[in-house]
Chain A
């Protein structure tokens, strides 16, 4: 059986009686960029957070590059396995979650130094390279509190990239930003797209999704209602629920 780079098979998640993900399957090829859109409470963030097991599924499988992420293993072995898998899955959060007690440089180098046992010199070179990539090199010795929201998010992206992940997850990376700061983060994400980074992006920004993504998933109430290339989902949605959502969203944007 040929396997996609990222495979979500029959993902299911419930909190007691409440089922937030109902049998979701999704394949993403290497280098593909997939956007997940949908109203709040649709389960899109839960699905994204299930991919690196931050919110473990109650059923179904996640596969990355031929390895099952949420493998059933005894506790200790599972911890080792998931820590290894997470090194290959970068994640960017809505609220950045930079480490406030570390400088920008230390934010980027902490995990590689600790987990890959690289030298200080290598770590510094890595930090400079990654921060240059997101245009934050001149702030390398600042603390997060001294940065704007957009700058923080760019550093957070550099921090994730420093682990050389195979896959990047973005959980509403620009939702907490002032409108004028959104563009600088979008530009960095576009740059990653051009470099063929595989990305799964939960977003509220339809324009960005339309311009960058290969595929768009519309989720509502724990199911994928519609999926396809952006021009189809945005211009000619086949489902009533998608049309409603997009209409409301456009009204909201005005």
Chain B
């Protein structure tokens, strides 16, 4: 392995890693928003909203994220959506991971014992109050770990935007292969940087989970 080469190019990879981190943060925030809206729709009292939520989830989980990204970035202009590659990447991947987060959040909410909501309602709380004060705080604790799994997948998933030429880690690795002819070193370096980002994020999720855990 050419360690000298790695040391020489690695500052450029760090810059690219910053873009990967930006993409991760933005897509995850957008995903959480879409997930909360999606879960609300899927658990709604109204049939039309439930249908809308289910359609959202089934489309975005049922087709490759890469196709969704191409559809938005290359197909978008045809229907009047003009986005640069970075914007398309954030929106495409954020809405995509939001579908997975919808199911994660919905799962955590319906896992809360029905007796919890009932007990709150018998005290006189409204549906909305019972949800906000009793069901949601418990569901939030329950969804931290599985959302962590979604987040982990999403960080790695940002690599897809290399296909629409966003200069992030994977794209940078490919570009440097073009000039160095050292694919092993370039992909190895990119892989290590992904691992660092994911390990730190994983620790953060574990910390948050521990912090809100109830005493047993």
Pick the residue among B129, B134, B141, B215 that contacts A99 (CB under 8 A). B134
The 8 A CB mask of B113-132 against A (1 = contact, 0 = none) is 10110111111111101000
Q: Which residue from chain A places its CB closest to the CB of B124 in the assembled complex?
A: A87
Minimum C-beta distance from B166 to chain A (A) = 41
Stretch at the interface among A62-70, A90-98, A206-214: A90-98
5 A-B pairs (CB sep. < 8 Å): A86-B124, A97-B115, A97-B116, A100-B214, A115-B124
How far, in Å, is B142 (CB) from chain A's closest CB? 11
User: Given A99-B134, A110-B133, A145-B214, A86 and B121 touching (CB < 8 A)?
Assistant: yes
Q: Is the C-beta of A54 less than 8 angstroms from some C-beta in chain B?
A: yes
The smallest C-beta distance from A117 to any residue of chain B, in angstroms, reads: 13
Interface residues of A in 133-161 (CB under 8 A from B): 143, 145-146, 156, 159-160
Interface residues, chain A, with chain B CB atoms under 8 Å away: 52, 54, 79, 83-84, 86-87, 89-91, 93, 95, 97-101, 110-111, 114-115, 143, 145-146, 156, 159-160, 163
Asked if A83 contacts B214 (CB within 8 A), the reply is: no
B154 to chain A, nearest CB (A): 28
Chain A residues with Cβ below 8 Å from B119 are 91, 93, 97-99, 156
In the assembled complex, the Cα of A146 lies from the Cα of B215 at a distance in Å of 8
CB distance from A194 to the nearest CB of B (A): 24
B104 contacts A by Cβ under 8 Å: no
Q: Which residues of A contact B191 (CB under 8 A)?
A: none
Q: B137: CB under 8 A from chain A?
A: yes
- CB within 8 Å for A163 and B124 given contacts A93-B118, A99-B116, A114-B133: yes
Write the nearest CB–CB distance from B169 to chain A, whole angstroms.
39
- B192 contacts the other chain (CB 8 A): no
- A100-B138, A101-B138, A145-B216 given; A95·B115 CB < 8 A: yes
Residues of B within 8 A of A (CB): 113, 115-116, 118-127, 129, 133-134, 137-138, 141, 214-216
Contacts of B216 in A (CB 8 A): 145-146
Complex Cα spacing A93 to B123, Å: 12
Q: B19: shortest Cβ distance to chain A, in Å?
A: 39
A110 — nearest CB in chain B belongs to which residue? Answer: B133
A101/B214 contact (C-beta < 8 A), A91-B122, A110-B133, A114-B129 known: yes
- Known A93-B119, A97-B119; judge A84-B134 contact (CB<8 A): no
Contacts of A114 in B (CB 8 A): 125, 129, 133
The 6 closest A-B pairs by CB, nearest first: A87-B124, A97-B119, A111-B123, A97-B115, A91-B122, A86-B124
Alpha-carbon distance between A163 and B125 when the two chains are bound, in angstroms: 11
Give A90 to B215 CA distance when docked, in angstroms. Answer: 28
Residues of chain B within 8 A of A110, CB atoms compared: 123, 133
Contacts of B129 in A (CB 8 A): 114
- Across the interface, do B137 and A159 meet the contact criterion of CB distance under 8 Å? no
**Which residue of B is nearest A89, CB measured?**
B122
How far, in angstroms, from A115 to B123 measured CA to CA in the complex?
Answer: 9
Shortest CB-to-CB span from B136 to chain A, Å, is: 10
Given the contacts A79-B127, A97-B116, A101-B138, A52 and B214 also touching, CB distance less than 8 Å: no
B residues within 8 A CB of A100?
138, 214
Q: Shortest CB–CB separation between residue A232 and chain B, in angstroms?
A: 32
How far is it, in angstroms, between the C-alpha of A91 and the C-alpha of B121 when the chains are bound?
10
